[in-house]
Structure 1
């Protein structure tokens, strides 16, 4: 049934193993766990660098983990032909004087299951981002640190939703900067794939009936609450999005902002790969706003 197939593709966590460790990159780290307000145990790495500047990286959804993406076990249709390692940009950031918290969102990697098994495109995962910020903000070593957020795709939607929660990110004055990589709404994604509106609505209705979230809600409603300096990174050749929607997200941001439009291969994953091959753009932005 096409409805179930599309719903599973969008909301059922794929195989997202933690396929590397910081040790393989010569990094000092701790395995950490911390709990969300609704009781989900999240698993991560706290990679040791500076004690006064910490980057919190939130990965993209469905087929990803804190380590990044691997095509192994993904079937015939793959997002990317080879591994995309997020530890590459983490290593660079540590070398530039930052500590890095990398963690698995609920229903991904080694983290626990949420209220249900289905991915919510950020509205539930927002609690994970808040928990990560709270973990650093109350950590004996890092509680006085400045925080920078590196939020990738669903990490961006989760971060935006987190700015709309009653006890959300707007209450943390230690967050100094945000890098948002390829923001994407469910409705825009489905439209970019050529799925007609009636089928998009049917998929969402099916997903809610089986216990999943309402995916028609937009994290754009809370983007105006983001007042920290923000860099938006987008591949202009990304076939899975609408550039007008990315421009709308950018316009809604409530603070100082920059847009970095990349000209990469016609692939959603090209920008994720670029993060590890051009990490100096990340550190340059964080350096500007975290001193």
Structure 2
């Protein structure tokens, strides 16, 4: 939902058939996602890597990179936001630029520097494409489910790590972003046994579908009441109610030390939603969970770029729980 903002009067003056078409377009855009190309690789940073493929929990073929680090005893497993791939998103190029310019996110996000930083810090890295993104297989009719179907990919990545003889005894940390963070939380709710040996989670910018649509309606001059109708149309396409795609309830099942971070003034969501996710995560004290806000920007993409620009906090969290 990224069209240019419109005034309330313009919305009110729109013929019913035009409003109906707009709501349909929003529902279709929210239910499926175009793929982003893989334009960067670890080779750009002089890193040796393996192209790998492995099955999701339901057999969907997933594609990724494994970047070994000599002497490492921990592997960091990375997934990505919606619309992105393991290499990022070329939002500085068309057609992505037009889609994201309205929210100020018309800049490239390249995730490969994150891999280089983790490798330099002494970690193996497994970065993979979620289903229906990057080079991974199509599944579920191409539908995006806010993390529900995608949770199967998180389980598949953990199984793959344990299937490799060179990683059989490795400690595991997860670095999950946006849709990937939601997917991780849903997987923890559904299959907690799969995470028994995961040392920690970094969850970058999880979000709830309803909040995203409400914020989009606000930006585009639509009455908030339209969100229920959009949600009805999304459910007819995906079978999922909007509220079922919120990770808040799933976060109650987290038993892994978790660091959450978010751009505070991101117009695509609200701080209260991320706070609700964090508050739902059980924790005895500050050692079990932490939340920090990125300030001084309204660009969501700056949250995705935060680690490569300011890696210390995340690296300290990983070291605290894996070394």
**TM class, shorter-chain normalised?**
over 0.9
Structure 1 distance, partners of 2:272, 2:37, is 33
Correspondence for 1:58: 79
The 8 Å contact of residues 92 and 280 in structure 1, kept in 2 or not, is answered as no
TM-superposed CA distance for 1:51, in Å, is: 4.2
Is 1:222 paired with 2:231?
A: no
**Given that residues 109 and 304 in structure 2 are in contact (C-alpha distance below 8 angstroms), is that contact kept between their aligned partners in structure 1?**
yes
- Work out whether residues 14 and 74 of structure 1, in 8 Å CA contact, stay in contact via their aligned partners in 2: no
Pair 238,144 (structure 1): closer, same or farther in 2 beyond 3 Å: same
Range with bigger deviation, 71-80 or 96-105: 71-80
Contact 1:146 1:176 in 2 (8 A): yes
Unaligned runs of 5+ in 2: 1-20
In structure 1, stretches of 5+ residues that fail to align are none
Deviations for 1:165-201, whole angstroms, at most 9, x for unmatched residues?
Answer: 1xx2443322000111111000111122225454222
SS in 2 for 1:76: helix
Whether 1:233 aligns to 2:256 is no
**1:41 aligned onto 2:61:** yes
SS of 2:232's equivalent in the other structure is helix
Q: 1:46 to 1:275 in 2, by over 3 A?
A: same
Q: Who is 1:69 aligned against?
A: 89
Give the length in aligned residue pairs: 288
CA distance in 2, matches of 1:42, 1:264: 36
> Does residue 1:187 correspond to 2:210, yes or no?
yes
TM-score by length of 1: 0.93
Q: Is 2:295 the counterpart of 1:263?
A: yes
Q: How does 1:1-291 map to 2 (within 5 A)?
A: 1-49=21-69, 50-61=71-82, 63-71=83-91, 72=93, 73-74=95-96, 76-78=98-100, 80-165=105-190, 168-193=191-216, 194=218, 196-211=223-238, 213-217=240-244, 218-255=246-283, 256-291=288-323
Structure 1 residue 242 displacement after superposition = 1.4
User: Which region of structure 1 is more displaced relative to structure 2, 247-256 or 68-77?
Assistant: 68-77
Equivalents in 2 of 1:164, 1:92: separation in Å?
A: 30
* Richer in helix (by share): 2
Which has more radius of gyration?
A: 2
State the shift of 1:208 in Å.
3.0
Aligned-residue CA RMSD (Å): 1.7
